[in-house]
Structure 1
Amino acid sequence: MSTATIAIDTTQPAADLKPKEHGAYAIIGIPIVTALIIAGPTVVGLGVAIASFAGFFAHEPLLVSIGRRGKRAQRTTPAATRRLWTLVALMAVGGLLALFLGDSTVRISLAICGLLASVSFAIALAGKHKTLGGQLFGVVGLSVPCVPILLAGNLSVSVTAEAWATWLIGFASTTMSVRGVIATQKRKPRLLHWSALAALSLSVAVLTAGGYRIPIITLPMIAMSWYLMISPPPAKELKRVGWTLVVGTVASAVWMTLQF
């Protein structure tokens, strides 16, 4: 009987090594894929994409390995460290490839990417990644890899900055709408969410009127955000929030590719 008891206690499910923040997949993936389509599959761009995705997927194994997901997760997932080092190797190969083959502008942008990624991880270690500030900074850190990819495709710094700023506006809108939906379910005030979404919508109108041609592509993302704020789904339909925003983000991505 004691042997059977030991077997039950030590046979535990392995910890999930995939990133837990599902919205982050769209924030990192869609701008990278869009940038690769616009700039073309350059060696530097592909290196940045490999390094970015490897770093993204290394996040959870690292947290498990250092015990930030609990001792049980660390004990029951011996593969976490092996996966971590594999992803770190991929990140190093992709990053060094982009660093050595890219020009000075690309290298500067890569340094900025590294800095933002480090700060994002520090925020996660501090347990602040689910705060409003942490999530908004996460948008910055996750979307920035599109910058060196676009620069590697010979786009100007000004156009690249405009494209990235456009993604920041779009993802800030979706972030505020998701937090607004959650606030509704918890019966908390939503004045901040309404105000932020209105300000972001106004910024798109002002930028477009000022002659900037890329920010207008955020309209699908902003429209979906307004829809969720006006008609927030009940708790049992939370998946609808994610898929609604994915549809809007993909539509914006397609629109952006058509701008070039």
Structure 2
Amino acid sequence: MTASGSLLPREHGAYAELAFPLVTGLGLATPTVGTFAVAVGAFALFLVHEPLAISLGFRGARLQSQRGNRARIRVLALSALAVVSLIVGVRAAGSLLWPSLAFPLAPLLLLGPLMLLGRQKTLLGEILVITVFAATVFPLGATSGVPPSRILGASAVWWISFVLGTLEVHAIKATHKGGDRSRWTRWGSPVAAGATSLFCIVAAAGPLAAVRVPALALLPPALGTLALSVRRVHPRFLKRVGWALVGANTLSLIILLVFG
């Protein structure tokens, strides 16, 4: 199968945006059967996106014609796996899971209309996707008995980190390719990254223990994004930007799991 006809998600950054919260949710405490079930369900829903986009024609009429039947089968299979996994998770975790599921499911429902309108790649759509991914820490942490303050702190780290990275990617494209809608990101990205970095430095040195670790964890991607915004590269180097952000996020993950 060619890359253009693959049924796997094409946005490489999305893999990292899901992987870091998943690993965090699994690593904050001893995972249970419910934790693993929720993780499987989240990954299955993530894999649904590309075959759903193909079957709806968002990847073009040619791919819809060539891969449509296979894509629809994949959508049904992955959806069934997600439902079964969530049922297993609910049965294993009981009342612990239900409230926490609202955090990723609410932005996921908001994302549906944008996808049907073909606007999932707008900044709003990408932020909703980030919100879904970052919020997976809530049900994962709830099923393994992680304190709510730690769950909230970890989820906030990933949400802010991914939003900063997304703003900078849009700023890079706006700088070199133009576009009125995202022009503001050219100054918005360094301002957001700079303000976040300053907050993290102050909070990490502050007296509040519940804020100290998340602030310290958020500092590497905040500083990394600030550096990228000061020395803004050409869009052809976006893959290097992505790997730089992955490196910074890896430091965040280590801090959350070791000191969180």
TM-score bucket of the superposed structures, by smaller chain: 0.7 to 0.9
Q: Among 42, 45, 62, which residue is 1:55 paired with? A: 45
Between 190-199 and 50-59, report the one with greater CA deviation. Answer: 190-199
Higher radius of gyration, 1 or 2: 1
Residue 240 of structure 2 corresponds to 240
Relative to structure 1, the CA distance from residue 17 to residue 231 in structure 2 (aligned partners, 3 Å threshold; closer, same or farther) is same
Structure 1 residues 199 and 123 mapped into 2: Cα distance closer, same or farther (>3 Å)?
farther
Aligned with residue 199 of structure 1, among 195, 203, 207: 195
Task: Give a deviation string over 1:80-117, Cα, whole Å, max 9, x none.
Answer: 11211221121011111112222423211113322222
| Amino acid of the structure 2 residue aligned with 1:149 | L
Answer yes or no: is the 8 Å Cα contact 1:39–1:150 preserved in 2: yes
CA distance in 2, matches of 1:61, 1:43: 28
Give the structure 2 partner of residue 82 of structure 1: 73
Match of 1:39 in 2: 29
Helix, strand or coil for the counterpart of 2:250?
helix
Name the SS of the counterpart of 2:145 in structure 1: coil
Q: Is residue 228 of structure 2 the alignment partner of residue 231 of structure 1?
A: no
Which amino acid is 1:151 matched to?
A: A
> What residue identity is the alignment partner of 2:230?
I
Native 8 Å contact 1:163 1:215 kept in 2: no
Opposite residue 25 of structure 1, the aligned amino acid is Y
The percent identity for this pair of structures is: 31
- Greater Cα offset, 29-38 or 113-122: 113-122
Q: What does residue range 143-162 of structure 1 map to in structure 2 within 5 Å?
A: 143-162=134-153
Instruction: Give me the whole-angstrom Cα distance separating, in 1, the residues matched to 2:252 and 2:164.
Output: 13
In structure 2, the residue matched to 1:126 is 117
Question: What displacement does 1:13 show?
Answer: 8.6
- Distance in 1 of aligned mates of 2:3 and 2:243: 29
Amino acid at match of 1:126: L
Return the offset for 1:41: 2.7
Amino acid at match of 1:201: S
Alpha-carbon distance between aligned partners in 2 of 1:199 and 1:231, rounded to the nearest angstrom: 17
Distance 1:73 1:116, change over 3 A: same
In the superposition, the TM-score normalised over structure 1's length comes to 0.87
* Structure 1 partner of 2:160: 169
Specify every segment of 5 or more residues in structure 2 that has no aligned partner in the other structure, as ranges: none
Gaps of 5+ in 1: 1-11
Q: Secondary structure at the match of 1:102?
A: helix
Q: CA RMSD in A?
A: 2.1
Report how far residue 66 of structure 1 moved: 2.5
Q: Deviations over 1:184-233 (max 9, x none)?
A: 22255512222222333344345443611222201111122112111122
1:21 aligns with 2:11: yes
Per-residue deviation at 1:14?
A: 6.5
Equivalent pair of 2:17/2:130 in contact (CA under 8 Å): yes
Instruction: Report the Cα offset of residue 181 of structure 1.
Output: 1.9
Once residues 187 and 4 of structure 2 are traced to their aligned partners in structure 1, the CA distance between those partners, rounded to angstroms, is 41
Amino acid at match of 1:123: L
Equivalent residues of 1:99, 1:110 under 8 A apart:
no
Runs (4 or more) in structure 1 with deviation over 4 Å come to: none
TM-score (norm 2): 0.87
Asked whether the 8 Å contact 1:36–1:149 carries over to 2, the reply is: yes
Change (3 A) 1:154 1:220: same
The residue that corresponds to 1:92 in the other structure is: 83
Rounded to whole Å, the distance in 1 between the matches of 2:148 and 2:3 is: 48
Structure 1 residues 13 and 106: CA distance shift in structure 2, 3 A: closer
Tell me which residue corresponds to 1:112: 103
Q: Per the alignment, in what secondary structure is the counterpart of residue 93 of structure 1?
A: helix
Residue 140 of structure 1 deviates from its aligned partner by: 0.6
